[in-house]
Structure 1
Amino acid sequence: MQSIVPKLMVFVDGSNLLIELSKFLNINFRADKPPLNAIKLSSILVDSFNKYNQWNFIRKYWFSSYQGDDKYFYNLKKKLRENDFEPILFKRKNKREKGVDIALTKEMLINAFNQNFDIGLMIAGDEYYTELVFELKRYGPKIYGSFFEKYGLSDNLKLSFDKFYPLDDRVDKVVWQKYIYEIKEELK
């Protein structure tokens, strides 16, 4: 008898992740104009969830705002695509982020309704996603969560997930050190 590999889709609140990644690494950078190596490190964190190929990765979505010209937008989108993310990007206006949480919510609900995944992995920490998690469960999939436990994680959101995986210990220390160095170099 052949076992069925569960379908996994990943939904990353990239703005939220980059804000807290900056704190976690103790490197000051803007989430709306991140060093491109921070995107690579984020991808390594996400990909660590399928280290043993226990899931069939369907798609990785990245939702975030950005600030910059068309060239920066192109380079950011290119870096996200190189790291197998499906980028959903919003240009910041008047220093305010608009649309990221609504776009993530919409995409998760549509994909859950269409039964495109068995497991939805949300990488976010904001409490306002708690109701979304409960709503998604009504469609049948498991909803897993991951975020930095000490940085920006709502306790209520953490408790709403079927399973929670802390990001803090997802990557080997050698990898952390390599990317800390590369991000600092990029910011010079």
Structure 2
Amino acid sequence: MPGFQLPSDPHLRRWMLFVDGENFTIRAQKVAQASNIVLPEGAHYLKDIYIWLPGLQATQDTTQGHLRLQAHAIRSFYYTSASGDEQKLVDVKRRLRELGFNPQVFKKTRDKSKGVDIALAKDLLVNAFFDNYDVAVLIAGDGDYVPLIEEVKRQGKVVYLVFFKEEGLNEALWLAADSYFEMKQFFVDSWNRFNQETSSNK
């Protein structure tokens, strides 16, 4: 029947994505440098503030089918900070929103702000408590999230960790997660493909 779509596999789990954008951006920049990848600022990247994978919407499966998830996240959150005035923060939020994220952008101060960590922890816990997801996909490498993961697991939820193992991934965090996806090759391939397409269109 034209226009008829098969229902999604009921065995695939509902999920939400939570990205520690501060941590992810710093580590991703190091991966890019080590892999000789140029990161042009634009829709997918703003130096030291945010980075994402070209060609991938925020709600799409970041693991490319390696984990048994529904094709799209119920919601995807991105947490980061930026220096500048209120308009700068609004601009960063707008950019992340256009990628499909629910953005939370905090004003950066001299001392490392805990705003990102606290906001991420709150959203992960509250959504688990209200049974809004079966799986939390966490892009982060900081060991401070270990107690958070343990609490979410006590609520019967599953936590999938996605990060760069050789770039600051805390071993205790890796051990606490139910499953892990190494994103380095996927990240490198995404940006190489983007740069090739961009240069060929010039």
If the length of structure 1 is used for normalisation, what is the TM-score? Answer: 0.81
Taking the TM superposition and a 5 Å limit, the aligned residue runs for 1:72-151 are 72-151=88-167
In 1, Cα distance between equivalents of 2:81 and 2:55: 17
The answer to whether the 8 A contact 1:37-1:179 is kept is: no
Question: Following TM superposition, by how much is the alpha carbon of 1:100 offset from its aligned partner in structure 2, in angstroms?
Answer: 0.8
Aligned residue for 2:32?
25
2:60 is the alignment partner of 1:60:
no
In 2, Cα distance between equivalents of 1:98 and 1:171: 26
The answer to whether the 8 A contact 2:15-2:69 is kept is: no
Question: Following TM superposition, by how much is the alpha carbon of 1:5 offset from its aligned partner in structure 2, in angstroms?
Answer: 3.4
SS class of match (1:25): helix
Post-superposition CA distance 1:104-129 (Å, at most 9, x none)? 11111101111100000111000111
In 2, Cα distance between equivalents of 1:158 and 1:123: 11
The answer to whether the 8 A contact 1:43-1:83 is kept is: no
Post-superposition CA distance 1:149-171 (Å, at most 9, x none)? 11010011001110000111224
2:45 is the alignment partner of 1:44:
no
Question: Following TM superposition, by how much is the alpha carbon of 1:177 offset from its aligned partner in structure 2, in angstroms?
Answer: 1.8
Post-superposition CA distance 1:36-78 (Å, at most 9, x none)? 4323427839634264594141010001111122332222111
The alignment yields a C-alpha RMSD, in angstroms, of 2.8
SS class of match (1:88): strand
Aligned residue for 1:185?
none
Aligned residue for 2:21?
14
In 2, Cα distance between equivalents of 1:61 and 1:69: 22
List alignment gaps of at least 5 residues for structure 1.
28-33, 183-188
How many residue pairs end up in the alignment?
A: 175
Aligned residue for 2:200?
none
Aligned residue for 2:191?
176
In 2, Cα distance between equivalents of 1:181 and 1:75: 27
2:172 is the alignment partner of 1:165:
no
The answer to whether the 8 A contact 2:80-2:106 is kept is: yes
List alignment gaps of at least 5 residues for structure 2.
1-8, 35-40, 46-50, 198-202
In 2, Cα distance between equivalents of 1:44 and 1:131: 30
The answer to whether the 8 A contact 2:77-2:103 is kept is: yes
Percent identity of equivalent pairs: 33
In 2, Cα distance between equivalents of 1:42 and 1:112: 29
Give the helix-richer structure, 1 or 2. 1
Which of structures 1 and 2 has the bigger CA Rg? Answer: 2
